[in-house]
Amino acid sequence: MNNKQYSLGIVGVRGYVGKELLALISAHPQIKTEWLSSRQLEGQLASAALERADDKDLDFIIESLSPEQVADKNTDIIVLALPNGLAESFVQAIEKNKGQTKIIIDLSADYRFADSEGNNSWLYSVPELDEKALVEAKNGELIKISNPGCYATAMQLALAPIIQLLEGPAHCFGVSGYSGAGTTPSPNNDPENLKDNLIGYKLLEHLHEKEVGERLKAPVSFSPHVAAFFRGINMTVQVELTEPQTDIALLNRYNDFYQHHPLVNCQPTIPVIKQVTNTANCLIGGFAVSSDGKRATIISCLDNLLKGAASQALQNINIALELEPLMAVQPLATGEQE
């Protein structure tokens, strides 16, 4: 671990995830936000625009920066919190600049398949499953991290302990809060449309289905839905098993697998979203096994904006910088002073 201080900038802070990450960074003792970029919020005082009036570290004006201007900032950590398809020009400018930037972390899906496409310079990391690659990242070189998707995180954490036991594809039924649909107005994030409703979307070949299949090297069938609550994911996973199991045996297997990972907790009872809302935790439970022991159902719950995005990004940054992995990863409790 080290005691160095680091600067950070975020491109795309207007979105939900950018705001969540900003709140976490404000409590980090070794990372300070130096600048923020947003076309929609350009010219506004950061503390006012982001409703953080008491945060003195945000007493500066939000800019709308080009890729070259972002690179010229020479910030230690650059977070790209942009919609899919917009990261490449910023990455290219930062690489060309060859400045002091130590980490680029992309929160979109743009580089989640980079290694399978022959670009091995990107590190994909669910920390509980991929930490080794970040630990071994070469100090002094630009580290490029692709942050996992929220649904994909819930599925991978639910499936990783039993990947060797799977017989055929895992069937995953996911329900997300409407914050997962982003800030651009649509039927999938319209509270009135969602009232007393459950909406399925992209029911075949969803990007997160491909993401999990490639990462776990196992077939996955994924059906996403959005509901009327704002944040959180409930992922119900059904699997066929190569050998009989009991619910107790599965619970013990998961506890053993995650015993050194305090953010992933397992329980025999069915988890619910309220248990993980506004936390960096993933809760796995509800282990149910058929009478022949060959079919099982498991439920994974997490906060899509935190463990599914912002807090996971901070975990990855901490590990890559050789800081305490969970430093400032959990959001402050309501009323707690920063």
pLDDT in tens, the chain (338 residues): 688 999 999 999 888 999 999 999 999 999 999 999 999 999 999 998 888 877 888 899 999 999 999 999 999 999 999 999 999 999 999 999 988 999 999 999 999 998 777 777 999 999 999 999 888 887 778 999 999 999 999 999 999 999 999 999 999 999 999 998 887 888 888 989 999 999 998 888 888 899 999 999 999 999 999 999 999 999 999 999 999 999 999 999 999 999 999 999 999 999 999 999 999 999 999 999 999 999 999 999 999 999 999 999 999 999 999 999 999 999 976 444 43
User: At 184, phi and psi to the nearest 5?
Assistant: -70, 125
**Contact (Cβ atoms closer than 8 angstroms) between residue 67 and residue 82:** no
| Catalytic center residues | 150
* Stated pTM of the model: 0.94
Which fold does the domain 150-302 belong to in CATH?
Answer: Dihydrodipicolinate Reductase; domain 2 (3.30.360)
- Intervals of CATH 3.30.360.10 along the chain: 150-302
- The CA distance from 195 to 228, in Å, is 6
User: At 320, phi and psi to the nearest 5?
Assistant: -65, -30
Superfamily per CATH, domain 6-147+309-320: NAD(P)-binding Rossmann-like Domain (3.40.50.720)
**Contact (Cβ atoms closer than 8 angstroms) between residue 21 and residue 326:** no
- The CA distance from 78 to 120, in Å, is 20
Rg, the chain, Cα only: 20
- Intervals of CATH 3.40.50.720 along the chain: 6-147+309-320
The amino acid at 146: S
